[in-house]
Amino acid sequence: MVRADASVSIKVLLNATTADFGFRPTYVRVWLAKQKAVALIYGDWDESYNELPRWVLRVQLTMPGTVAVLRTSPVRVGRQLDESRAYFHRLFWTFPPCIEAFRHCKPLVSIDSTHLYGKYGRTLLVAIAQDGNSNILPVAFALVEGENAESCSLFLSHLRQHATPQPGLLVISDRHNGIKAALEAPDGGWLPPAAYRAFCIRHVVANFALTFKGKDARRLLVNATYAKTEVEFDYWFDILRSEDPAMCDWANRIEYSLWTQHRDEGRRFGHMTTNISECVNLILKGVRNLPVCSLVKATFGRLPELFVRKGREAEAQLRTGQQFSQHLVTCIEANLKTARCFTVTLYDKDNSEFTVAETTPTGSFSLGSYRVSLTSQTCNCGYFQALHFPGVSS
C-alpha cells in the first residue's frame, strides 16, 4: 500500500491490518512500520541526508543555472564542536526553467508552507506563480525546520536574489510573523516600491472568525474584500457595521491595501488567496511522506513533466489559433458569473468606448450603468483594472 501511495494515511493502514490479520495494533506501531516501509522503498531516512549534498552537486553540474543553497548546523559533543560532522539545517533550491518561466508570468508570487509527515517532520516552503492562461508554476522551494523568522528570511532572500528580481512584485501570504519579519527586513528587497505585500483573505477571515462568530459576518467581510470599487466596498462594509461596529473596527486595524481588492492598485490580478499554492500538492502528491533526498528529487522529476505537458498544450493552441479566442471566452465567462444581462446603450467606435447597462434577466430592475474603454482597459465596474482583462489594439 505504501509503494502504491506514500501518502496513505495511518488510519487506512491500521484498518487494513485489522481486516487482513485479525488484530488491531496501536497507531504508533503502524506509524513506525510505515516509516520502515518508506525506507525500504525510497532509501534510509538518515542516509538520505548524506546523499542530498551529493545529488544536489550532480544536478548543478548537469543543469547549469540550478540554484541550491544548503545550510548545516555543527555537531556538539559536550561543550566542544565536532568539525568532522554536521547536521542538515535548511535547503533552498530552484531550477533554470522555473526562473525563466517566471519572467513571463503575472508579477506576483504566492508563498505557502506545508508540513512534512516523514520520520523527521520539517516544513516545505513553496513560492508559486501563475501565467496569463492560469497555468500554475512552482518557482522555488525551501526545506526548513519550521516557519519562523530566520527560515522565512533565508527563503525570501534567496527567492528575491535568484528567481524573482523583478521590481514591483506582489507577495501574497498569510499573516505569519516569520513571513512578516522577512518581508519587512530593510535589506531584504521586499519593501515598497521594489515589492509589495498582500494578505490571503482566507487567513484574514479565519482570524476574524476567532473573535466574531457567525457565517453571515464572515460572508459580509469576504464580499467587502472582493469588492472591486470603493462604492461596492462601502456597501458591504456599511452592512457589516450595522451588524456590529466592532467588526469594522477590527478590520480597520489592517491596512486596506493588504486585504481589499479595490485598494490594491491592480497588483493582485484577482488573486485574493494563496489557493494556487494548494495546486502544487497535486504536482508533489505523496512526496511529503518521503525521505529528504527523495522529496527534492521529486521536484526535479515532476517539474519537467509539467513543463512538457504545458508546452505541448501551448503548441496546440498556437497551431489551432485558439489562444486569443480562449482568452476572450475566459473574460466573457468571468463577466457573466457576476452580471445578469448587459445592454449596450452607447457605442463610440472611434475610441472603442461603451456605455453598458446591467439589468436582471427580465430587464425589470437596473443593476447599474458602466463606462467601458477597451483602449485604456478601464471600466467603472473595476474588473478591467483588477483582473487585467486584455484590451483591443487598433
Task: Give the model confidence (pLDDT) of 152-167 as tens digits.
Answer: 999 999 999 999 999 9
Question: How far apart (Å, rounded) are the C-alpha atoms in residues 100 and 167?
Answer: 16
- Model confidence band, residue 384 (pLDDT cutoffs 50, 70, 90): confident
Q: What is the pLDDT of residue 363?
A: 61
* Least reliable range by pLDDT among 21-30, 218-227, 238-247, 283-292: 283-292
* Least reliable range by pLDDT among 174-178, 245-249, 304-308: 304-308
Cβ 64 vs Cβ 96: under 8 Å: yes
Of residues 92 and 302, more confidence is placed in 92
Tens of pLDDT along 287-339? 888 899 989 998 888 777 777 887 787 777 777 655 555 554 555 455 544 44
Q: What is the pLDDT of residue 393?
A: 44
At 159, give phi and psi (nearest 5°).
-60, -45
What is the spatial order of strands in the sheet that 108-115 belongs to? 67-77, 80-94, 136-144, 123-130, 108-115, 169-173, 195-199
Q: What is the pLDDT of residue 358?
A: 73
Burial (CB < 10 A; 0-12, 13-18, 19+), residue 223, is middle
* Least reliable range by pLDDT among 24-38, 59-73, 367-381: 367-381
Of residues 289 and 105, more confidence is placed in 105
Distance of CA 112 to CAs 123, 156, 200, 276, 306, Å? 10, 12, 10, 9, 20
Question: How far apart (Å, rounded) are the C-alpha atoms in residues 325 and 329?
Answer: 6
Q: What is the pLDDT of residue 11?
A: 94
Question: How far apart (Å, rounded) are the C-alpha atoms in residues 190 and 76?
Answer: 36
Q: What is the pLDDT of residue 110?
A: 94
**Residue 18: pLDDT over 90:** yes
Q: What is the pLDDT of residue 332?
A: 46
- Model confidence band, residue 240 (pLDDT cutoffs 50, 70, 90): very high
- What's the mean pLDDT in 181-196? 92
**Residue 217: pLDDT over 60:** yes
> Which of 63-67, 83-87, 212-216, 374-378: highest mean pLDDT?
63-67
Question: How far apart (Å, rounded) are the C-alpha atoms in residues 27 and 38?
Answer: 17
Instruction: Please list the alpha-helical segments (H only) found in the chain.
Output: 10-21, 27-42, 45-62, 96-102, 149-158, 177-183, 201-211, 215-226, 230-243, 245-252, 256-259, 275-278, 280-283, 292-320, 323-338, 383-387
Q: What is the pLDDT of residue 48?
A: 92
Residue with cell 521586499: 190
- Model confidence band, residue 362 (pLDDT cutoffs 50, 70, 90): low
Of residues 200 and 310, more confidence is placed in 200
**Residue 382: pLDDT over 90:** no
Q: What is the pLDDT of residue 222?
A: 94
Q: What mean pLDDT value characterizes the chain? A: 85
Q: What is the pLDDT of residue 271?
A: 92
Residue with cell 521536484: 299
C-alpha cell at 77: 559533543
Length reported for the chain? 394
Q: What is the pLDDT of residue 257?
A: 94
Of residues 238 and 367, more confidence is placed in 238
- What's the mean pLDDT in 270-295? 81
**Residue 55: pLDDT over 70:** yes
Q: Between the CA atoms of 237, 238, 240 and 244, what dihedral angle is there, to the nearest 10 degrees? A: 130
Tens of pLDDT along 120-149? 888 999 999 998 888 888 999 999 998 899
Cβ 159 vs Cβ 129: under 8 Å: no
- What's the mean pLDDT in 16-21? 93
**Residue 225: pLDDT over 90:** yes
Q: What is the pLDDT of residue 390?
A: 64
- What's the mean pLDDT in 349-376? 73
Q: Mapping DSSP to helix (H, G, I), strand (E, B) and coil, where does residue 342 land?
A: strand
- What's the mean pLDDT in 48-54? 92
